[in-house]
Amino acid sequence: MREEICKQLWALADPNYQKFSQKLIPEGKNILGVRLPALRKIAKGIAKSDWKSYLQAAGDDSFEEITLQGLVIGYISIPLESRLTLIKNFVPKIDNWGICDTFCGTLKFNSEDKAILWDFLGPFFQDNRPFFLRFAIVMLFKFIDGERVDSIFSILSTVRQDHRHVTLAKAWLIAECCVHFPEKTIAFLGVQALDPSTQNVAIQKIMESFRIDALTKAKIRQLKQKCPRDGVP
């Protein structure tokens, strides 16, 4: 099956899209240039067939092959515990933000599964590998609600990894929390539990959002910190 899938991927490769993707995801290894809708279509077909054989034989030779595995894991119909096992085995393959965010966005969980998923994510926040952390942080988007937003902020204050894509994920998540819980976000940023760089990137993301009102932005703008390394606020 893998040989046939690889032939499909090569047939769908677009040199122009490849160049675009390489600029957008410079960390991506061996990007062929297959557009995401085409990958999703292939993944859905695999998910309805012998997906077990595919995942066992799948290779990691290209960005698209790894992305495809993540999509299949998201599309197959299996019990929660089985999916979590596949997720755990897949996360070490994530080495760039593109694969990470596509994978996380494809994973869907019922509300009754959230407690188990929350516990599952816990150990990832103790792992200092950048894309283990980015995976876990992006998965927290599924928990932005009144029940867990304070816990999200608590977790973010403990993550001390300065990798660019971890910082950006934290900032992105905080900005999204601000859309739904502006006062809680203001309070969190006000205690300055984040390092200055992450705090300022989060504030920048909030300023760029069209879903956050001007008054909230004005309050948050005042919370910008001075970064020791550059000496400017």
- Per-residue pLDDT of 150-187, as tens digits, reads 999 999 999 989 999 999 999 999 999 999 999 999 99
* End-to-end C-alpha distance for the chain, whole angstroms: 55
Q: Give the pLDDT of residue 81.
A: 97
Is pLDDT at 231 greater than 50 in this prediction? no
Judge contact between 39 and 110, C-beta under 8 A.
Answer: no
Residue 28, Cβ neighbours under 10 Å: how many?
20
Q: Calculate the alpha carbon distances from 212 to 23, 167, 176, 194, 229 in Å.
A: 30, 21, 9, 21, 29
Share of the chain above pLDDT 70, in %: 97
Over residues 45-51, mean pLDDT = 95
Judge contact between 127 and 160, C-beta under 8 A.
Answer: no
Is pLDDT at 208 greater than 80 in this prediction? yes
- Provide φ and ψ at 192, rounded to 5°: 55, 50
Residue type, position 145, single letter:
D
